[in-house]
Amino acid sequence: MSDFKELQEKLGIFFENETLLKQAFTHSSYVNEHRKKNLLDNERLEFLGDAVLELGVSQYLYREYNELEEGDLTKLRASIVCEPALVRFAETLDFSKYVLLGKGEEMTGGRNRPALLADVFEAFIGALYLDQGYDQVISFLRKYVYPEITTGAFSHTMDYKSQLQETVQQHKNRLVEYNIVDEKGPAHDREFFAVVTINGKTAGKGVGRTKKEAEQRAAKQALDALSH
């Protein structure tokens, strides 16, 4: 039996209704093998968690990325709530250890199947929302998901630096350079100011929580200017 007390201690989150937490980690194959126990699988919680997670991520992106247009926000959100990203979050938290699986599913490697882990992560969000409300979900995301966004883990989705390089390479002998020209704020809430130059002339400026983010935003401004 999975030790859900251990999981709660690890997360620093204690469920009022532990049955909800257990349900989040209960795969349909386990329910099918224990029909007499009247257990519920995690599929309905996954449905709810998917919507709550999408809202939590959307809210964060809307507030933090003022300069991004709707299309870019949608792309970035999609990269954060997609299966590979959810699997990574689940693996970071060692969620596979707590999944309740049927014997057949266990024997065929279900415990580490990406789709199953992504579903469990969403189901956990759904269970947390029902047990403790939206604010607690946001606290959880702030601890385990949002930092991944600010470190640029998803910047490949909108890799403006690569796009700018490709655009500039169409014209030979043009040099692209990035410089961090200023940084402000305390260590835990730093802001970096980047400038991108093409052949020594300023082509774009950007501000971000990390140097990478500031450079990406400078590159996007340069791309926007070049496309007009």
Confidence grade of residue 118 (pLDDT, cut at 50, 70, 90): very high
Q: Say if residue 183 is in the same domain as residue 102.
A: no
Q: Say if residue 117 is in the same domain as residue 198.
A: no
pLDDT exceeds cutoff 50 at 1 = no
Give the domain CATH number at 99.
1.10.1520.10
Q: Say if residue 102 is in the same domain as residue 183.
A: no
pLDDT exceeds cutoff 50 at 24 = yes
pTM: 0.71
Mean pLDDT of the chain: 90
pLDDT tens per residue, range 38-49: 889 999 999 999
Q: Which pLDDT belongs to residue 15?
A: 97
**Catalytic residue numbers, as ranges:** 50, 122
Q: Which pLDDT belongs to residue 149?
A: 83
Residue where a domain stops, chosen among 117, 134, 152 = 152
pLDDT tens per residue, range 159-183: 788 888 888 887 777 899 999 999 9
Mean pLDDT value of segment 214-221: 90
- The domain tally of the chain equals 2
Q: Say if residue 178 is in the same domain as residue 121.
A: no
pLDDT exceeds cutoff 90 at 138 = yes
Confidence grade of residue 141 (pLDDT, cut at 50, 70, 90): very high
Q: Say if residue 120 is in the same domain as residue 190.
A: no
Q: 83-89 long-range CB contacts below 8 Å, 24 or more apart?
A: 83/114, 83/115, 83/118, 84/114, 85/148, 85/154, 86/117, 86/118, 86/121, 86/122, 87/114, 87/117, 87/118, 87/121, 88/148, 89/121, 89/144, 89/145, 89/148
Residue where a domain stops, chosen among 103, 122, 152 = 152
Q: Which domain holds residue 187?
A: 159-227
**Closest by Cα among 147, 148, 83 to 117:** 83
Mean pLDDT value of segment 82-106: 92
Q: Say if residue 28 is in the same domain as residue 128.
A: yes
Q: Which pLDDT belongs to residue 156?
A: 63
